Structure 1
């Protein structure tokens, strides 16, 4: 059994502010906890019989997980500019995917550091369904026939995953009272919960189906400023719907992801 694990940082226990992952001293603590929760998922997968495990560092620079502390059974996907981004490593040889340390979509109430990929995105839809990173990435996995069987994060992220992916196992490691706070599990408690849930989720693998689309994906992106949309609409194949919103069609979710990344890159150049 080949298990793919995508690991973000905002849903890791005790991470409640952007500087937790950027400030000297705090950054190392956050990266250590990110690595530890990744290891918990790896250990749970091994206990369930996994023979191959791919871990994708999926936050920011994508160079956060500490390789020397990562479980030696895992292969680490590291670094930016990857064709599938947070889901790099998913293919048809993978049996199950896990999302560790994930967060809720932009605009979610009482959700720690909730956002959708970048600060430029206000809302995102795939074929009329509003999604965040959880729903979009699950559909990328579904493109390859891979079910997302486990998610860990705050309570809001868990609720979002349960709405989007029937049968998924979720692990709540913190509960937010706003955007930059949370009541957090002790790191060892969070790791134990993830470890146990990973084993259980893989033991009930058939309960979760890959999240697939009927027909080709149509992706709509509502950006935060008009100039961001001005720049995004310069790309071939991008339609402008209104001042803030652009839309495009893709052959599949892998292509949809590439185009979405191009939109982010263009929008990031906006000065206002």
Structure 2
């Protein structure tokens, strides 16, 4: 059984601030260790549950965060960027399940380090009229590839957000948000044990039977809308064929879900070239 792990960083055990998750941060190197060990917990659980092949995608920021020499030896790793499918690079219908480790809530949420892809620069996003962040877009894209999301770990806000998309996804809360840069932390040993147990149970259930998706794949065509802080970003994105303007700061595009996910990556590259804001300003 092939298992896919998408690993973000803001929802990792023990991490609460930009200093923990950005390469220039004073605690970033420690954060990389913490991230790798949370992912290792998921790998160990998946293997004991029956996984035979595990692919891990480093999905945070520069996508060079996980430590290959500390990663479980049974897992393969996709590291670096750019990647056409970003947080889902390498995923296809051959995989049985997606495990999301270290995820965070969308922009505007009270969750720890909450944002949608570009921190302050993206104010809101909508998929088919529903407010969405990284969690919802990943879930919808995985569904379009016919792969269910089985597990998500992160803070309590991220877990609640996933439940809004699919109540059948197992969630593991590793911290309780107190503010955007503060949290009540679950003991690390306990948090990793919970991730490992949840990964085991999800994969074992799939090994024993056929896990059904509780939410059908989005019906194409889908509509993705993104509201930017800067009107200049929206204006520049109009140069992409098929992109239209909803208002001075909001653009939208219509198409297949997988194509829209790829298109968002182009949006982000354009926006990054026009702005100098850090992800947590």
Q: Do both share a fold (TM > 0.5)?
A: yes
Deviation at 1:42, TM superposition (A): 0.4
Native 8 Å contact 2:244 2:253 kept in 1: yes
Deviation at 1:202, TM superposition (A): 2.0
Match of 1:243 in 2: 248
Native 8 Å contact 2:85 2:265 kept in 1: no
What is the alpha-carbon distance in structure 2 between the residues aligned to residue 271 and residue 260 of structure 1?
Answer: 16
Residues 16-64 of structure 1 deviation map (CA, whole Å, 9 limit, x = unaligned):
1111123465111100010000000000000110000000000011010
Match of 2:145 in 1: 144
Match of 2:279 in 1: none
Decide which moves more: 217-226 or 58-67.
Answer: 217-226
Match of 1:227 in 2: 232
Deviation at 1:271, TM superposition (A): 4.9
Residues 106-145 of structure 1 deviation map (CA, whole Å, 9 limit, x = unaligned):
0002x10000111321111111122110110111111210
Decide which moves more: 118-127 or 36-45.
Answer: 118-127
Runs of 4+ in 1 over 6 A off after TM superposition: none
Residues 78-113 of structure 1 deviation map (CA, whole Å, 9 limit, x = unaligned):
11111110111210110000100000000002x100
What is the alpha-carbon distance in structure 2 between the residues aligned to residue 271 and residue 25 of structure 1?
Answer: 24
What is the alpha-carbon distance in structure 2 between the residues aligned to residue 193 and residue 235 of structure 1?
Answer: 44
Match of 1:253 in 2: 257
What is the alpha-carbon distance in structure 2 between the residues aligned to residue 23 and residue 186 of structure 1?
Answer: 26
What is the alpha-carbon distance in structure 2 between the residues aligned to residue 80 and residue 143 of structure 1?
Answer: 23
Match of 1:2 in 2: 2
Matches within 5 A, 1:162-241: 162-205=163-206, 206-209=211-214, 211-241=216-246
Native 8 Å contact 1:33 1:187 kept in 2: no
What is the alpha-carbon distance in structure 1 between the residues aligned to residue 144 and residue 247 of structure 2?
Answer: 29
Native 8 Å contact 2:4 2:95 kept in 1: yes
Secondary structure of the 1:105 match is coil
The alpha-carbon distance between structure 1 residues 24 and 166, as it changes in their structure 2 partners (threshold 3 A), is closer
Structure 2 unaligned residues grouped into runs of 5+: 277-281
Match of 1:27 in 2: 28
The alpha-carbon distance between structure 1 residues 93 and 222, as it changes in their structure 2 partners (threshold 3 A), is same
What is the alpha-carbon distance in structure 2 between the residues aligned to residue 178 and residue 42 of structure 1?
Answer: 30
What is the alpha-carbon distance in structure 2 between the residues aligned to residue 260 and residue 226 of structure 1?
Answer: 17
Match of 1:267 in 2: 271
Secondary structure of the 2:193 match is helix
Secondary structure of the 1:228 match is helix
Q: TM-score, normalised by structure 2?
A: 0.92
Structure 1 unaligned residues grouped into runs of 5+: none
Native 8 Å contact 1:141 1:211 kept in 2: no
Aligned residues: 270
User: RMSD across aligned C-alpha pairs, in angstroms?
Assistant: 1.5
Q: TM-score, normalised by structure 1?
A: 0.95
Matches within 5 A, 1:41-60: 41-60=42-61
Native 8 Å contact 1:138 1:211 kept in 2: no
